[in-house]
Amino acid sequence: MRTVGVEEELLLVDPESGEPRARSAAVLARAAHDHAEGFVFEKELHEQMLEFNTHPQTRMAELSAEIVRCRREAARNAGDIGCSVAALATSPLPVKPAIGAHHRYQWMAEQYGIATQEQLVLGCHVHVAVDSDEEGVAVVDRVRPWLSVLAALSANSPFWQGKDTSYSSYRSRVWQRWPSAGPTELFGSAEGYRRRVADMMATETLLDEGMLYFDARLSQNYPTVELRVADVCLHADTAVLVAALARGLVETAAREWQAGRGPDEHSVSVLRLAAWRAARSGLTGELLHPAAMRPAPAETVVRALLEHVGEALADNGDLDRVKESCAELLRRGNGARVQRESLRRTGSFRDVVLECARHTQGDAARLE
């Protein structure tokens, strides 16, 4: 089985007011002191963010346990300095983001101006192993139409600066402000991918290849394809669902390539519309069906995704778990729905944040 790993970004918040707190350096120092070996936490663009990376796993039960462990450790280390962590893809409360001191982040602030200041958004990236760059590019070309469905499932950012945005994933709309972000044209081969990267770097618009924010890309550091469309998920079980579906998509795409089946030739223009619809609707309205790129109910599109990757899921031993998780997610709603229900019930963005912090940290106790 292909290995799969997850990167999650968490929001540091005040445990009483719910306001984001720029304390990532202190949390990292605390974590480094306690865990010199196997250190999994990293800094991010803004000081209100904390990132962790799981190890590559083959079994979803093991991946789930590691995500829960990392969330629990993040909560413990944040708690030691008077913070909480919340798996929120944007802050419901107004915030003035604090950009980190690293030279890379300062370059971005100078180069991109207010777009950098506004990028306090938190995602979930999934790495799935591939055998070669050639296979990886074949996968990137073939998963493009299905990525919007992962975005809809994970949508967890309905609020921005104290307002309801009317979107399920406003994070994804903010993310599109980066010049290299979004869906890509077909690359055709590893050589085609490398040429595109070289052409983009030659414009001197990007500091390095790490700023190629494609929805799906070859990892710089690992023999993986990295799928980058998901919001950080409110619940750990949703993150595991996204990871299992991501591996199913990669495996299905690789098999199609090996069988000589070409990718769907949807234009970037249409893929952008599919991404916009997923961000707007989440699971509460219509999405664009990845085959025909025509509107269909979200539940129909999710079923289509399950059918598309069903054989790969079954071969990985994930099919029953994924079906159950999808059914539960459609019943409970994604993070965007949970947040809106919390606001309707409490009338307070503060209470939304604190409730979501409890969800984030409660997963550890619930899944242990």
| CA–CA–CA angle 155, 27, 64 (5° rounding) | 45
Number of domains present in the structure of the chain: 1
The CATH number covering residue 39 comes to 3.30.590.20
Quick one: which of 69, 78, 72, 76 has its CA closest to 50?
78
CB-based contact 126:63 (threshold 8 Å) = no
Q: Distance between CA 343 and CA 352 in Å, rounded?
A: 6
Instruction: Report pLDDT digits (tens) over 295-326.
Output: 999 999 999 999 999 999 999 999 999 999 99
Q: What residues contact 66, with CB distance under 8 A and at least 6 apart?
A: 54, 55, 57
What are the tokens at 358? 């409890």
SS3 203: coil
DSSP secondary structure code for residue 182 in this structure: B
Place of tokens 């799969």: 4
Residue 269: HSE in the Cβ half-sphere, 13 Å Cα cutoff: 0
Cα 326 from Cα 318, distance rounded (Å): 12
Neighbour count for residue 21 (Cβ, 10 Å): 23
283's CB contacts (< 8 A; 6+ apart) are: 152, 153, 155, 168, 298, 299, 302, 329, 330, 333, 334, 337
Question: Which residue shows structure tokens 């899944």?
Answer: 367
Q: What is the pLDDT of residues 148-158, one digit of tens each?
A: 999 999 999 99
pTM here is 0.96
- Taking 3-state DSSP, the helix, strand and coil percentages for the chain, each rounded to the nearest 5, stand at 50, 15, 35
DSSP string, 95-107: ----B-SSHHHHH
- Compute the C-alpha angle 108/110/112, nearest 5°: 60
Q: In terms of residue numbers, what domain contains 144? A: 4-367
What is the Cα–Cα distance from 314 to 277, expressed in whole angstroms? 29
Residues 6+ apart with CB under 8 A from 249: 139, 143, 146, 150, 227, 308, 309, 312
> Looking at residue 366, what is its pLDDT?
45
> What is the model's pLDDT at position 363?
57
pLDDT tens digit at each of 368 positions of the chain: 999 999 999 999 999 999 999 999 999 998 887 664 555 888 899 999 999 999 999 999 999 999 999 999 999 999 999 999 999 999 999 999 999 989 999 999 999 999 999 999 999 999 999 999 999 999 999 999 999 999 999 999 999 999 999 999 999 999 999 999 999 999 999 999 999 999 999 999 999 999 999 999 999 989 999 999 999 999 999 999 999 999 999 999 999 999 999 999 999 999 999 999 999 999 999 999 999 999 999 999 999 999 999 999 999 999 999 999 999 999 999 999 999 999 999 999 999 999 999 999 875 444 43
Segment holding 315, helix H or strand E: helix 298-316
